[in-house]
Amino acid sequence: MKSFFLKLKYAIEAMWKKAPAIEVAFASAINNLVPVVEELDVIIDPALAPELNPILDKIKVGLSALKTTIQGAGTKPNIVSIVDSVNSNLTALLTTAQVKNPELVAKIQEVAAIVTPAINEVAAG
C-alpha cells in the first residue's frame, strides 16, 4: 500500500510543479466569477427567479468551496497541503457535488480518514 501512495505522491507533485501560478490563477478566476454570478440575481427576469435562484445559489456555494480548497493548499502546495485542504473542505465539497446519500458521505469520509495518514506518512519519509 505504501508503494501505491509513494507513486501517487510523485504523480501529484509532478502535476503541481507550477502550482503557485495555477493556484493564483484559479483563485483569481473564482474571485472574478463570484460577483458575476451575484449580479445575475439582479438582472434575471423576476418570473424566472424561482427557478434560477436555486441554481445560482448552488453555483455560488460550489465556487466558494472550490476557492477555499485551492487557497487552503497554500501558495506552495505539496501533497500534504493539498490532501489537508481537501480534507478540511470535504464537507463543503461533498455538499457542492450534491452527494446526498448519508451512507456514501460516511464512506467517503471514512476513506479520507484512512488515506490521509498514509499519504502523510509517505510524504514525511
Residue-level pLDDT at 96: 74
First-to-last alpha carbon distance for the chain, in angstroms, is 15
pTM exceeds 0.85 for this model: no
Q: Which of 59, 116, 63, 114 is nearest to 86 (CA)?
A: 116
Residue-level pLDDT at 25: 66
Listed in sequence order, the residues at least 6 apart from 74 whose beta carbon sits closer than 8 Å to its beta carbon are 23, 81, 85
DSSP labels, 44-75: S-TTTHHHHHHHHHHHHHHHHHHHHHHHHT-S
Note whether 109 and 69 are within 8 A (CB). Answer: no
Note whether 37 and 56 are within 8 A (CB). Answer: yes
- Domain spans, the chain: 2-124
Distance CA(125)–CA(120), nearest Å, equals 9
**pLDDT band of 125, cuts 50, 70, 90:** low
φ, ψ of residue 88 to 5 degrees: the values are -65, -30
pLDDT in tens, 58-99: 878 777 777 777 777 777 767 777 778 887 888 888 787 777
Residue-level pLDDT at 38: 75
